[in-house]
């Protein structure tokens, strides 16, 4: 059992990620104790032993916010785990940001308990947040909401201390404002990031890619 305290959030399918050694990470968000919805993670060994605290470790303890729809990437090199999610105000869900956290091999938060804001709080809603790890760094891609129907594709890279690389900025990966969805990607053995998405800029859903 990954979680047994009740109040699992609706409109969300929990995610499972391989640790590359026959174990797995389980990621979800819940509203335990009546608190605001928060993303949690648990790491299981191949024999189903829990490596993180019972009922998982929270991405953030910052009150008054929702910390939702997290994605995860694991770095076997040092046993650390990256998590990124979208952050929003719990009152009206009208302001958004992209936040991240890093966990130790035992599930302790290694960055501030509130996480780190990589896309500052404000602006349109991020979606399809995806992250991928290579060596000790992580690359993050997401759809950045321009309005309720159109998005840009944006991305950034961080080191294990939470510093932004790639010149310290968020990059435009797909800079045409259009309806987009189904973002996915990965990192090759030489460290090249690949990202693909569905895009309605010219037709009902073309497939676009960038590296």
pLDDT tens by residue, 145-170: 998 899 999 999 999 999 999 999 99
pLDDT over 80 (residue 83)? yes
Residue 74 binned pLDDT confidence (cut-offs 50, 70, 90)? very high
Q: What pLDDT score does 24 carry?
A: 98
Average pLDDT, the chain: 94
pTM over the 0.85 mark:
yes
For the chain, give the number of residues. Answer: 211
C-alpha distances in Å from residue 210, one per residue of 29, 171, 179, 206: 30, 12, 17, 14
The encoded tokens of residue 69 equal: 């729809």
d(CA 199, CA 153) in angstroms, rounded, equals 10
pLDDT over 90 (residue 123)? no
| Residue pair 28/8 in contact by the 8 Å Cβ criterion | yes
Q: What pLDDT score does 142 carry?
A: 97
pLDDT tens by residue, 128-141: 999 999 999 999 99
The encoded tokens of residue 187 equal: 């990192």
Residue 143 binned pLDDT confidence (cut-offs 50, 70, 90)? very high
């Amino acid at each position: 059992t990954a979680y047994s305290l009740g109040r699992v959030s609706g409109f969300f399918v929990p995610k499972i990620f391989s640790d590359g050694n026959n174990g797995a990470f389980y990621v979800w968000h819940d509203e335990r104790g009546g608190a605001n919805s928060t993303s949690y993670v648990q790491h299981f060994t191949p024999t189903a032993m829990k490596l993180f605290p019972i009922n998982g470790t929270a991405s953030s303890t910052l009150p008054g916010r929702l910390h939702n729809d997290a994605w995860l990437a694991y770095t076997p090199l040092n046993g650390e785990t990256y998590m990124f999610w979208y952050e929003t105000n719990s009152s009206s869900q009208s302001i958004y940001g992209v936040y991240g956290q890093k966990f130790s091999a035992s599930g302790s938060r290694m960055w501030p308990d509130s996480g780190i804001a990589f896309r500052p709080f404000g602006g349109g809603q991020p979606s399809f947040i995806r992250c991928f790890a290579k060596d000790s760094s992580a690359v993050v891609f997401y759809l950045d909401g321009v309005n309720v129907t159109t998005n840009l594709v944006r991305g950034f890279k961080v080191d294990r201390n939470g510093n932004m690389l790639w010149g310290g900025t968020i990059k435009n990966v797909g800079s045409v404002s259009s309806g987009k969805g189904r973002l996915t990607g990965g990192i090759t053995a030489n460290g090249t990031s690949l990202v693909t998405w569905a895009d309605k800029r010219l037709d009902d859903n073309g497939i676009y890619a960038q590296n």
